[in-house]
Amino acid sequence: MEHTYRLVISCPDRVGIVAKVSNFLSTYNGWITEASHHSDTQSGWFFMRHEIKAESIPFGLDQFRAAFEPIAREFNMSWHIADSARPKRVVLLCSKESHCLADLLHRWHSKELNAEMVAVISNHDDLRRMVEWHDIPYHHIPVGKENKAEAFGQIEELLAQYEVDVVVLARYMQILPAELCEKYAGKVINIHHSFLPSFAGARPYHQAYSRGVKLIGATCHYVTQDLDEGPIIEQDVIRINHSDSIEDMVRLGKDVEKNVLARGLRSHIEDRVITYENKTVVFD
């Protein structure tokens, strides 16, 4: 993978944004390898993502931030720049179902995902051997009605200890407390086994079966305090018909779930997602 810097910007839309940023990069011989722009005419907001050859810039990220700050102030930008050579630190949370966890571990092991899988946390001990085969620490923290506060306190301590960049709920069947959602806003990704906003909550395949739907799907989204209502990153569907049982739908749905979660995580770790209000702009 080529060493690049990823410059990600959102700001009120106006004339001259692209020219100003491009001129800044050109001044320092910055070589743009990828450029993505989107103007939201309804909100009047502008979104931008540039990848720049790191070797073409004559200084590091700290100096880049200092040099770029006057432009950011001028255009009232919300922005950040990331280094592709510094993979994001990921903690996976899971319960008993293995398909999403196994898929992400395989993609990481085969270097399809440029991330650092630093730990797995689970409320069950079932998947320990799978995780430890990958030489990844496995933390079993049971969660019950009596110990929820204590359990999530331990999880929060682990996330801080691992200096986590992103948390992935790989079919983790517990609801995160509001304080944790707020602390890691925009950094917790969930896979919901439904094409949200349809069939939110529990047992979506049973709900879908009872309605006789012709499509089932999955949704990868950021976690917020409002259950299953966070900004959507990625979605997909698969066609079914009247002959498919609930078991068939669950089997087919698992394939969609793991693919959608992997694509959503990839977009996040490559700094391709910009959140605005309760929506996202995702640059391919």
Query: How far, CA to CA in Å, does 105 sit from each of 64, 134, 138, 220, 233?
Result: 34, 8, 13, 17, 20
Query: Which residues contact residue 227 at a Cβ distance below 8 angstroms, ignoring those fewer than 6 apart?
Result: 175, 200, 201
Residue 196 has pLDDT above 70, yes or no: no
Calculate mean pLDDT across residues 170-191.
96
Positions marked catalytic: 228
Distance of CA 31 to the CA centre of its chain: 27
Q: For Cα atoms 186, 189, 192, give the angle at the middle one, nearest 5 degrees.
A: 135
Residues 271-280 pLDDT 10s: 999 999 899 9
Burial label for 47, CB within 10 Å (0-12, 13-18, 19+), is: buried
Structure tokens, 26: 């050109």
DSSP structure string for 251-280: HHHHHHHHHHHHHHHHHHHTT-EEEETTEE
Residues 153-180 pLDDT 10s: 999 999 999 999 999 999 999 999 999 9
What phi, psi does 169 have (nearest 5°)?
A: -90, 95
Supply the pLDDT for residue 279. Answer: 94
Q: Which residues, listed in sequence order, are joined to residue 274 by a DSSP beta bridge? A: 281
Residue 101 has pLDDT above 70, yes or no: yes
Supply the pLDDT for residue 246. Answer: 86
Residue 115 has pLDDT above 90, yes or no: yes
Average pLDDT, the chain: 94
Three-class SS state of 172: coil
Looking from the CA of 20 toward its CB, the CA atoms found within 13 Å total 17
What one-letter code names the amino acid at 185? A
Q: Which residue has the tokens 């979104």?
A: 47
Calculate mean pLDDT across residues 53-58.
97
Supply the pLDDT for residue 52. Answer: 98
Q: Read off the pLDDT band of 197 (50, 70, 90).
A: low
What phi, psi does 90 have (nearest 5°)?
A: -115, 135
Q: What is the DSSP letter of 28?
A: T
**Signed CA dihedral, 23, 28, 34, 40: sign only:** negative
Q: Read off the pLDDT band of 139 (50, 70, 90).
A: very high
Query: Percent of the chain, pLDDT > 90?
Result: 83
Supply the pLDDT for residue 267. Answer: 98
Measuring CA to CA, which residue among 79, 83, 87, 84 is closest to residue 8?
Answer: 79
Measuring CA to CA, which residue among 82, 72, 83, 66 is closest to residue 21?
Answer: 72
What one-letter code names the amino acid at 167? V
Residues 214-262 pLDDT 10s: 888 899 999 999 888 899 999 999 998 889 898 998 899 999 999 999 9
Find the distance separating the first CA and the last CA of the chain, reported in whole Å: 17
What one-letter code names the amino acid at 102? A
Measuring CA to CA, which residue among 104, 57, 121, 47 is closest to residue 85?
Answer: 57
Q: Read off the pLDDT band of 15 (50, 70, 90).
A: very high
